[in-house]
Structure 1
Amino acid sequence: MVNIQNKARVVIIGGGIIGCSVAYHLTRLGWKDVVLLERKQLTSGTTWHAAGLIAQLRATANMTRLAKYSQELYGTLEEETGLSTGFKRVGAITVALTEDRKEEIFRQAAMARAFGVEIEEISPAEVGERYPHVNLDGVKAGVYLPKDGQGDPGNIALSLARGAQQRGAKIHSQVKVTGVSRRGSRVTGVQWHAQDGDTGEIACDMIVNCAGMWARDVGKMAGVNVPLHACEHYYIVTDNVPDLGHLPVLRVPDEYAYYKEDAGKILLGMFEPKAKPWGMDGIPDSFEFDQLPEDFDHFEPILEKAINRMPLLAKTGIHTFFNGPESFTPDDAYHLGLAPGMDNVWVAAGFNSVGIQSAGGAGMALAQWMEDGARPFDLGDVDIARMQPFQGNKTYLYHRSTETLGLLYADHYPFRQMATARGIRRSPFHAHLDAQGAVFGEFSGWERANWFADPGQDREYRYSWKRPNWFGNAAAEHGAIRTGVGMYDMSSFGKLRVEGPDTQAFLNSICGADMSVAIGKIVYTQFLNPRGGIEADLTITRLTETAYLVVTPAATRLADEVWMRRHVGDHMVVITDVTAGEGVLAVMGPKSRDLLKAVSPDDFSNQAHPFGTAREIEIGMGLARAHRVSYVGELGWEIYVSTDMAAHVFEALWNAGQDFGLKLCGLHMMDSCRIEKGFRHFGHDITCEDHVLEAGLGFAVKTEKGDFIGRDAVLRKRESGLARRMLQFRLTDPEPLLFHNEPILRDGKIVGHLSSGAYGHHIGGAIGLGYVPCVGEAAKDLLASSYEIDVAGTRVAAQASMRPFYDPEGTRLRS
C-alpha cells in the first residue's frame, strides 16, 4: 500500500523531465506540499529515450532565455544533488548545404549576438577542422556554438527529482491519475490508482498537467484543451568507432539529420519531412520504457544521405535501431501556462523533441508564474491560451502532426505556411476571394488571403530569404491603398461582445483608455498588467448604453477573453464570442469615401462620420456597421456585416469598385503599410514585458479617469523616466529585407534587436521597429547617434525616428 497524503497545495501529473523540473523549481521557491504522481516510473514515457541535445539558441529572445537557463542549470545540478547528469558542453555545429540555408543560419547567428549567445560563423574548412569525420561536399558554411552541450536525459530528470525531494516534495511512481474533481472553474482534487491496487483522492489547490503524450487525455479530465499528438521518432546508435574522439553535436538540417558522439559511438537521429503519427487509438495502459516496431524503410532515405555525409557509417555496424514516440503540437511550440477556462489548472507539455533543452527554463518560468500569479516575462510563443478550441480535434491533430515534426529541420523561411490540416476556418468572403486569385495563408486555423496572384501567375508561395515571388503583388496592393482604394478581409479578427449594466465600469477597470464615451465611439486601448506591460492591444466600440464590441487580433481572441473573464470580479457583465457572426471588409485608401458613396446613401463626410466612430449604414440592399478606423494609415472604413448578407455586400462593393480601380489586397500588404505608419504589432512590438509608455503608446492611457490595472505603474514610469524607447528604422540601402530579431547597433555596439520588420513599398526600403535603451537620455541625444542593422552578418546603415516615416501627423487618416 502506497502512503500518499490526502491534501496538497499542488499535484503535478507526470514524471518526465518537465514534471520533475516544475517540482524542483516550485520547491526552490519554498513551496511545501508538492506532490508528483507518475503512472509508471520516472522518465518512462519519452524522457528516457531522448537524444539529450542541449542547445541555447531558439527562435525568439525569451525562448533563448529559457534554453540558456536550462544549460546553465544542468551544469550545476550534479554538484547540488550528487547525481551525475552526464552534462558536457561539447559545442554544436550546424551546416548549410544551400545558399538559402546559409542565409538562414547566418541570420540566426546575427540574432544570437543580439540575444547574448556566443556563436561564430565558420567556413567549410573550419567545419572540417572541428568535425574531421564529415564529408564537406556541398557544405556552404556553418555556425558554431561553443557552449551548447549534451547530457543524459534520464539522469537530468532524476537529478531534478532528487533536488525537489531534498526540499520536501513527495514523488510517487506507479500511481496513475484516473480522474479530476471539479467545481466550477476550479479543480478540487485528483483520484489515483496505484499499481498495487490501492486507490484514493488528493484534495489540492491546483494541478500541473505534465503528462507528455497523455497530456491531451489528462486535459480532458480537467476540462481543458491540450492539443498534441504523438509521432514516431527514429535514431540509430552505431557500434564503437575506434579513435572517434570528442566531437561537437553536428546538425545537417538539409539532410534532416543530427549526429551526436555517445561514449565512442555515433548517434544518428532524424526529423523527416513527413512524420508517422502514432497512438491514434490511444496509448496502451502498459506503455513503459517501450519501443515501437522498427521501420527501416522509413529511415533508409535519411541513412543513405548520412552514409555519404559521414563515411565512417559505411564501415560501422548498427548497435541499436530505435523508434520511440514523442508528442508534437500544432505549431511546433510547447504548451505552458494557466489553462483557459480554469482558474487552477496549469500545463507544461508538448515539447516537440526539444524537451531536454527546454525543461529547465520552462519549469523555472512556470513555477515563477504560479508563485506570482503573473508571467515572469513574455511567454506568448508557448502560452497554452494561444491554442484555439478546435485544435484539440483528433483528426486535425493527426494530419497536422505529420508536418510539425519535420518542421524542426525544414528551412525556416519567412512567411512559411503550413501545408497540412488546412481549410478549417473560412470567412464568409472566402469563395469570392478565391475566385479572384487569392493566395491563402493559415493563421489560428483561419484561411486568410495574404496576397492576390495576377492572371496566369501561379497561386503559390515560392519561399526565399530574398524578395519572394509575391513581392511585386504586395507592392501593387500597397500602392492601391496609398493612392487609390483597396479592399481586404479582416473577418478573422476576434470580436467579443461585452454587455450588461456594469460594462462601462468593468472596461474602465481593465483598459488604459477611458471607456466613458458616447455611443458609436471607437477607442484604441490596451489591457495592462500591474507592471504597466501590455496584455492586449485592441479597439473597443460602444454599441449601446450597456454593450461594447471588443476587437482583438485573431491569435489572441481566446487569451483576451480569458483575461476579461479572470478580472470580471463582481461586475454584472456577459462576455460573448461573436467572431463568426460578422464578416469584416476593410475599404481603405484616398478613394474609399467615393466607393462607399457609390453603394450607400449614407453620409461618409468628416462631419457626419468622423475618424474613430462607428454607425449603422445601408449598403447595397443590405445593412452593415461602418467603423472609421485604420491599421494601414489611410482614410478608410471597416465594414462589419452579418454573415447572411456578407456575400451580397462583397458583390456590391466589388462591382461598384470597378469604376474606382478597386484592388483586392492581402494581409502582407496590411503588414507593410502598418509598419510604414509605425503601428505596433501585438506579440512582436508590444508584449506583457513592454511598458506601455516605452512602447510609445502613452497617448492611449488616461490616468485621470480613475483606478485601473496598471495605473500605478504608468504613474511611476512617468515620474522615473523611460529606460528604453521604441524607434522606427529605415534601411538606407533599398535592397535588404528585414523580418524580426535583427540586431540594432548604435554607434557600432549592439543595443537591442528589431521586434518586427517589413518592406515599406511606398517609402522604398525595409523598415523595422525596435527598442533602444535610453536611461537618462533626451530624445534628441538618442536620435543623434548613428544606427546600423545587422542583416545576416552585414551591417546596413539605418535612419532612426521616433515619429512614423509615413504621414507622421496622421492627416491622411482624418482626411
Structure 2
Amino acid sequence: MSNPLPNRAEVIIIGGGIIGCSIAYHLAKLGITDVILLERRQLTCGTTWHAAGLVGQLRASQNMTRLAQYSTQLFSSLAEETGQETGYRHTGSITLALNDERLQELSRQATMARAFGVSCDVITASDAERLWPGLNTEGVLGGVFLPGDGQTNPIDTTLALAKGAKMQGATIREQTEVAEVVITQGRATGVRLTTGETIEADTVVLASGMWTHHLARKAGAIVPLHAAEHFYLVTEPLSGFDEIRPTLRIPDEQAYFKQDAGKLLLGAFEKHAKPWGMAGIPDDFCFDALPADFDHFEPVLSQAIERFPALAEAGIQLFFNGPESFTPDNRYLLGETPEVSALFVAAGFNSIGIQSAGGAGKVLADWIALKRPPMDLWDVDIRRMHSFQNTPAFLKDRTTESLGLLYDLHWPTRQFATGRNQIKSPLHELLMQHGAVMGEVAGWERPNWYAQPDEDVDTHTYGKPPWFDACTRESQAIQRTVALFDQSSYPIFEIDGPQSLSFMQWICGQNLDIAVNQLVYTQLLNDRGGIEADITVLRTTPTCFHITGGCATFRRDWYYLVNGAQNFDCTVKHREDLMTLGLMGPASTRLLTHLTQDPQLTALPYYRSIATQAVDIPIRVNRLSYVGERGYELVVNRDALVRLTERILAEKKTFGVVLAGFYAMNACRMEKGYRHWGDDLSDDVNPFQAGLGFCVDRTKTEGIATETLKNLAADHSERLVNLAIDANDAPLMIHDEPIYCGDELVGLTTSAAWGYRVHRSLAIAAVQNSKGVTQQWLKAQTFEVEVAGSRWPCQLQFHAFYDPNGKQLRG
C-alpha cells in the first residue's frame, strides 16, 4: 500500500509522461527533491507510450538544437546511471529531397548543423540507397545524413527518468488524478484532487500533454494546444531487415520509415490532419488507441510502397492511430504562465516530445530554480501565445494544418492558411483594395507588401521572391518621395501616476527624466542586464509616458510591465484607442505640413513630438523612423484612422505617396542595422553585446541592473555587427548562417534581408573574439559567410550600410 500523500510539496508536477518525469528528474538533480509527480492513471499512458521514439538533434535554432543534443547525451547514459534500460541506440537519420527547393533547404540545414556542432553529411541518391538497401531512389535529388541521431524506447526511457528522480528523493504517485490547480490571489498554490484532497505547493507544473489545455483554462491561463490523430503502421518481420538502419524521412511524401526489431514502422505527417477530442478527452482514457482510418492513411502508404517496394509484400502487424498534441505555431509551450504566477507549463510537443524531453525537462527545472529562463527560450516560451489562439474553433481549424508543418517546406516567410483574420486593422478593407498581401503576426492581419494586378502572390522560394519587385518599388518611394505604413498593430502602453518616472528609470536603460514631448529609444531590462523589450518612449505629461512596443511580443511586454510596476505608485494601461501610421520619406514633411497647415512641423527636431490637427483630426506627430529616412509616426484615435489614411492617399499624385508593407520596412531596418527583438535581441543579450551601449545611461544610480551593466560594459568579446555580401549573385540569408574568419567559426547571423537601396544581401550577425570585437579587428580580418554549403566573402562593420551618418534621417 502506498504511503499517504503529504499535504504540501515544493513542486507538484501534473503528468507522468516522458516530459513530466524528465522535469522531476532534473529538479531532483538540482537538489530540489521535495517534488511530487501526480499521474492520473499510469506513467506514459497518455501519448508517450505510443510515440515512435525518434531522437533527432537538429532543430530550427541554436538553442533548440542544444536542447535536442542534450537529450541524446542523456538518453545515452541514463541506463548506466539508473539501472533501467532505455532502449536507446545510435542509428543515424537520413532526410531526402525530391525537388530543388527541398534540396536547398536541406543544404541550408546541413550548413547550420555543422555550425551548431551536429555532424551532418550531404549525400547523393546512391549514398541513400547504400545506407537504406532496397530504397527506390527515383526522383531523389540528394539529402542529408546525420550519424549522431538515434532511437529510443519511449516507455523504458520514461521509466528510467522516473527511477532516476526517485533515486534522488522525488515522489511519484500513479492513480492520482488532479481536478484543478488551486489559485490564490493570482498565484498557483497547490492542487485539488478528484478525491477532494488538497496538496499545497510553491510551484505547480502542467506537463499533462493533451489534458494541459483544459487544466490551464480552469486555472485562468492561456495554453493553446489541441490533439490530432497521428497514424503509423508496423509490418510483420521483413527479410533482410535485421541490421540497424538510419531513420529515413521523405518529407515531400509526408513519410518516415523506422527499422524496429526486424520490422518496419511507417509513419506520416500528412498535410491535412484530423483534430481529435473536440468534445473533451474521455475520463477513462489510458493506453487507448483511436479508431482506424485507413482511407486517410492510404495516400501516404501508396507512395511509401513505391519508395520501398518490399513494403508491398509485407504483412501489417499493427495499424495504429493515437492522439498527440499540437500547438498553433508547431513549437512547444514552455515556462511560467504570465496570467498565473508559479504555474509552469511543458506541453504541446508536436510529435517531437521524445527527442525534446531531456532538454525541455532540464531547462524548465533550471527556470523553476532560478526563477527566470536559463537561456534564450523565446522560440518555445508560453508568453508568445495569445488569447485568440485559445478558443476551440481556432484550435480545431489550426490543428488541421499544424501537424503537417513538421514535414512541410519551412519557408522563412511562410504564412498560415488556417485560423486567419482574427484581428483586423480598421484599414484592412481599404488596404486590400490597394493590393495588400497580408501576413499574420499575433493574430493581426498586416500588409507584407502591395501587389500590382497579375503579380504572383503565392510562390515561395529560397531564391528571389515574388515580392522582390514590389519591395523595390516601395523602398524607392521611401527613399525618393513618401511611403505610408499601417502600423496600427503596434501596441501603445500608458504608464501613469506619481511614481511613473521612478518606474521608468528603474526598468529602462536610458535616462527617462526627459522633457514633455520628447521621445527616447531604449530597452526594458532585466536584473542581468538582458533586453526584455526594444521600445520607444514618449513623455506626454510630467507623470505620464507612452511606450510603443512590438506586435509579436504584446502579451510578453504587457505582463513584464504590469509585474514590474507593482512596487511603484503608477498604472499600466493598453491604449487600444490609439493607433499609428508611419509616414516615411523626404516628402513626408511637406505632405504633413500640407495636411495640418502647421508650420511648426518643418522645424520639429528628431525624436520630438507635437500635438496638432489635420483639419478635424487630432494627431500626435512623433518625428522618428525605423526605415532610415526622414519620417514621422502619426498617432490618432482608432475611429479617425481611416479618414486620415484616405486624406494622405488622396495626395498621391502631388507628393508621390506609395503604400508600403513590412517586408520593405524590414529591408530598410536591415540597411540601417536596426535591431529586432526576437531575432537579434533577447533577454539573454545585453545592450553592449547588441551594439546599443548608447542606450544605457551609466550615471543612473537606481535601476534594475545598474551595477550589472557597469561590469558588462567592459566585456567586448561578443557583439552584433552588420554584414553584407557584395556579389551580384549573392544568396538571400535567413538566420544562423555561420561566419568564418579563415577556418575559425566566429559567429552566426541573427536576421537577414535584401537591401533594396544598397543592392546587397544583408544580415545582422553575432560575432565573438576573445580579444574584443572592435572596428579595428573587423577591418583587419577577412570573413566569409556560409549559405547552403557555399562560402561567400562578406564585409562586417559596426556602422550602417545605408546613410551611416544619419544625414537622410535627421536632415
Q: TM-score, normalised by structure 1?
A: 0.98
Q: Tell me the alpha carbon deviations over residues 643-701 of structure 1, each in whole angstroms, 9 at most, x when there is no partner.
A: 11111011111102331111101100000000000001111111122221011000011
Matches of 2:338 and 2:379 in 1, distance apart? 16
| Cα offset, 1:434, TM superposition | 0.7
Which residue matches 1:767? 762
Query: Letter of the aligned partner of 2:555 in structure 1?
Result: L
Give the secondary structure class of the aligned counterpart of 1:42. Answer: coil
Cα separation, 1, equivalents of 2:651 and 2:33: 69
Q: Which residue is equivalent to 1:439?
A: 437
- Structure 1, unaligned runs of 5 or more: none
Match of 2:728 in 1: 734
Shift in Å at residue 605 of structure 1? 4.0
Q: Does 1:412 align with 2:410?
A: yes
Residues 130 and 649 of structure 1: CA distance in aligned 2, closer, same or farther (over 3 Å): same
State how far apart, in whole Å, the 2-side matches of 1:166 and 1:234 are.
36
- Code of the residue aligned with 2:807 in structure 1: it is T
Q: Which among 716, 719, 740 is matched to residue 725 of structure 1?
A: 719
**Does 2:462 match 1:468?**
no
SS at match of 1:705: coil
Q: Does 1:218 align with 2:215?
A: yes
Q: What is the Cα deviation at residue 409 of structure 1?
A: 0.3
Superposition map of 1:316-355 within 5 A: 316-355=314-353
Compute the displacement of 1:620 (Å): 4.3
1:519 aligns with 2:511: no
Aligned to 1:485: 482
Q: Is structure 2 residue 611 aligned with structure 1 residue 616?
A: yes
Counterparts of residues 105-504 of structure 1 (less than 5 Å): 105-193=106-194, 198-244=195-241, 245-458=243-456, 460-504=457-501
Identify which of 653, 656, 659 aligns with 1:661: 656
Distance in 2 between residues matched to 1:268 and 1:774, nearest whole Å: 47
Q: Distance in 1 between matches of 2:30 and 2:87?
A: 26
Report the CA distance between 1:206 and its aligned residue: 1.3
Q: Identify which range, 131-140 or 727-736, moves more after superposition.
A: 727-736
CA contact (8 A) 1:748 1:788 kept: no
Does structure 1 retain, via aligned residues, the 8 Å contact 2:111–2:786?
yes
Partner in structure 2 of residue 745 of structure 1 = 740
Question: How far apart, in 2, do the equivalents of 1:675 and 1:186 lie?
Answer: 41
Q: In structure 1, how many angstroms separate the alpha carbons of the residues matched to 2:567 and 2:474?
A: 48
Give 3-state SS (helix, strand or coil) of 2:565's partner.
coil
1:802 partnered with 2:798: yes
Q: Does 1:20 align with 2:33?
A: no
Distance verdict in 2 for CA 1:72–1:718, change over 3 Å: same
Aligned length: 807
- Which shows bigger deviation, 249-258 or 652-661? 652-661
Give the equivalent residue in structure 1 for 2:778. 782
Residue pair 1:599, 1:656 contacting (<8 A) in 2 also:
no
AA in 1 matched with 2:549: T
Alignment check: 8 A CA contact 1:427 1:583 kept: no
CA contact (8 A) 2:509 2:523 kept: yes
State the AA in 2 paired with 1:524.
Answer: Y
Greater mean alpha carbon deviation, residues 545-554 or residues 597-606: 597-606
Distance between the aligned counterparts of 2:287 and 2:547, measured in 1?
49
- Matched-pair identity in %: 44
Q: Hey, what's the Cα distance between the residues in 1 that align with 2:567 and 2:655?
A: 52
Q: Note if contact 1:495-1:557 (Cα within 8 Å) is conserved in structure 2.
A: no
> RMSD of the alignment, in Å?
1.2
- Contact persistence 2:778–2:797 (CA under 8 A): no
Aligned counterpart, 1:646: 641
CA contact (8 A) 1:788 1:798 kept: yes
1:106-149 Cα distance to aligned partner (Å, 9 max, x none): 00111111211111111111111111121100000110100000
* Residue aligned with 2:808, SS: coil
Cα deviations by residue, 1:755-783 (Å, 9 ceiling, x for unpaired): 01100111111001111112224431232
Q: Deviations over 1:68-89 (max 9, x none)?
A: 1111111110011111111111
2:630 to 630, 635, 647: 635
1:677 equivalent among 672, 696, 711: 672
In the alignment, is the contact (CA less than 8 A) between 1:774 and 1:782 conserved in 2?
A: no
Corresponding position of 1:593 = 589
The equivalent residue for 1:699 is 694
1:748 to partner: Cα distance: 3.4
Q: Tell me, in whole angstroms, the C-alpha distance in 2 between the residues paired with 1:150 and 1:783.
A: 47
Assess if the C-alpha contact under 8 Å between 2:490 and 2:579 holds in 1: no
Give 1:17 deviation, angstroms. Answer: 0.8
Shift of 1:722: 1.1
- CA change 1:762–1:587 in 2 (3 A) is same
2:506 to 488, 494, 509: 509
Residue 786 of structure 1 aligns to which amino acid in structure 2?
A: T
Distance 1:107 1:456 in 2: 31
Alpha-carbon distance in structure 1 between the residues aligned to 2:328 and 2:746: 34
Which stretch of the first structure deviates more once superposed, 174-183 or 50-59?
Answer: 174-183
Is structure 2 residue 684 aligned with structure 1 residue 689? Answer: yes
Answer yes or no: is 1:583 the counterpart of 2:584.
Answer: no
Aligned to 1:574: 571
- In the TM superposition, residue 221 of structure 1 has moved relative to its aligned partner by 2.5
1:10 is displaced (CA, Å) by: 1.0
Q: CA separation in 2, counterparts of 1:466 and 1:99?
A: 11
Query: Is the Cα–Cα contact under 8 Å of residues 461 and 470 in structure 1 kept in the other structure?
Result: no
Conservation of the 8 A alpha-carbon contact between 2:589 and 2:602: no
Unaligned runs of 5+ in 2: none
SS state at 1:382 partner: coil
Contact 2:593–2:602 (Cα < 8 Å) also in 1: no
Instruction: Report the AA paired with residue 313 of structure 1.
Output: L
Structure 1 residue 706, shift from structure 2 partner:
1.8
TM-score normalised over the length of structure 2: 0.98
Q: Do the aligned partners of 2:747 and 2:767 also contact (CA within 8 Å) in 1?
A: yes
1:694–1:722 CA contact under 8 A, matched in 2:
yes
Matched residue SS, 1:416? coil
Is the Cα–Cα contact under 8 Å of residues 565 and 571 in structure 2 kept in the other structure? no
Which secondary structure state, in structure 1, belongs to the residue aligned with residue 276 of structure 2?
Answer: coil
Q: Secondary structure at the match of 1:567?
A: helix
- Quick check: 1:581–1:643 contact (8 Å CA) kept in 2? yes
**Is the 2:388–2:422 contact (alpha carbons within 8 Å) kept by the matching residues of 1?**
no
Q: Aligned partners of 2:491 and 2:601: how far apart in 1? A: 28
Distance in 2 between residues matched to 1:71 and 1:456, nearest whole Å: 50
Cα distance, 1:369 vs structure 2: 1.0
Secondary structure at the residue paired with 2:447?
Answer: strand
- Partner amino acid for 1:753? L
Q: Distance in 2 between matches of 1:24 and 1:295?
A: 38
Cα deviation, residue 565, structure 1:
2.2
Preserved contact between residue 124 and residue 142 of structure 2 (Cα < 8 Å): yes
CA change 1:146–1:604 in 2 (3 A) is farther
d(CA) in 2 for partners of 1:775, 1:717: 15
User: Retained in 2: the 8 A contact 1:748–1:787?
Assistant: no
Q: Cα offset for 1:510? A: 0.7
2:738 partner amino acid: P
Q: Deviations over 1:379-408 (max 9, x none)?
A: 001100010112111101110110000011
Q: 1:620–1:649: 8 Å Cα contact kept in structure 2?
A: no
Separation in structure 2 between the aligned mates of residue 256 and residue 791 of structure 1, nearest angstrom? 26
CA distance in 2, matches of 1:235, 1:440: 36
1:530 to 527, 531, 536: 527
Post-superposition offset of 1:29: 0.3
